[in-house]
Amino acid sequence: MTTPTAKRIRVTAALKRKNYPHLLMRAHAIYNGMAGTPALFPSPIPSMAGLLPLLTAFDTAQQATLTKAKGTTQTRNLTALPLITALESEVTYIQGLCDESPEQALKLIAAAGMVAVNSPSHAKAILQTKLVPAIPGTALLVANATLLVNGSKKRPTFNWQSSLDGGKTILNLPSTPHADTEVANLPLLTTVAFRVSVTLGKVTGEWSQWVTLFVH
């Protein structure tokens, strides 16, 4: 009798190639995730030092298109191509790590800011962000309370932070007793990073990975 094998979890960057604001958001999420956990990803292809210039060039080009100046759209489209190729290469790298350590696959995928295509648990992300319609400069943050609380009976307090420079300068946002919050007055045409932690009783857990949102 043969022993059944675990279903292979496939990795995707979840890119929408022609949706450039979404591409920018996903690229930032992947870069922030992988650069923030170098112990998990010791030899990415390309390296984070190689990925960052591609991301920066595309970010600059994407924001330039908002001026409607002639030629900015073509430049943006051209800078997107090498970034997409690099992100696809990172997917191949992460897939290899997951295949080598399938028991760690979901952890690796989440840490890299990527998505598990056929996860058996269909797990939600720790933190999801989106713009609030019709309220410019306002973001809605929704944390995965189930994962963060992890069955504890203690009353949780959710802590929130933001950053406008990739985590170098961190702003503490008001904590909430519930797993969502709105953040207003964010500067337009900027990429803002958010993260969450939970306090159970007197013990505060680790911060999540940064999740980025392009505010427009």
- Indicate whether 43 and 100 sit together in one domain: yes
- Indicate whether 108 and 137 sit together in one domain: no
Judge whether 3 lies within some domain: no
Give the model's pLDDT for residue 124. Answer: 62
Judge whether 4 lies within some domain: no
- Indicate whether 142 and 77 sit together in one domain: no
Give the model's pLDDT for residue 103. Answer: 86
Give the model's pLDDT for residue 32. Answer: 86
Give the model's pLDDT for residue 119. Answer: 54
- Indicate whether 15 and 110 sit together in one domain: yes
Give the model's pLDDT for residue 110. Answer: 84
Q: Confidence class of residue 33 from pLDDT cuts 50, 70 and 90?
A: confident
What domain count does the chain have?
2
Three-class SS string for the chain?
Answer: CCCCCCCCCCEECCCCCCCHHHHHHHHHHHHHHHHHCCCCCCCCCCCHHHHHHHHHHHHHHHHHHCCCCCCHHHHHHHHHHHHHHHHHHHHHHHHHHHHHCHHHHHHHHHHCCCEECCCCCCCCCCEEEEECCCCCCCEEEEECHHHHHCCCCCCEEEEEEEECCCCCCCEEEEEECCCEEEECCCCCCEEEEEEEEEEECCEECCCCCCEEEEEC
Residue 169 in contact with residue 195, Cβ under 8 Å? no
CB-CB neighbours of 10 under 10 Å:
16
CATH of the domain at 132: 2.60.40.10
Judge whether 5 lies within some domain: no
Final residue of a domain: which of 116, 147, 166? Answer: 116
- Indicate whether 74 and 143 sit together in one domain: no
Give the model's pLDDT for residue 213. Answer: 84
More confident residue, 119 or 163: 163
Q: Confidence class of residue 172 from pLDDT cuts 50, 70 and 90?
A: very high
| Residue pLDDT, tens place only, 111-146 | 898 888 865 444 467 899 999 988 999 999 999 999
- Indicate whether 25 and 90 sit together in one domain: yes
Final residue of a domain: which of 85, 116, 147? Answer: 116
- Indicate whether 140 and 108 sit together in one domain: no
- Indicate whether 141 and 209 sit together in one domain: yes
| Residue pLDDT, tens place only, 34-72 | 998 899 999 999 999 999 999 999 999 999 999 999 999
Final residue of a domain: which of 88, 116, 144? Answer: 116
Give the model's pLDDT for residue 6. Answer: 57
Range of the domain at 201: 127-215
The pTM score is: 0.60
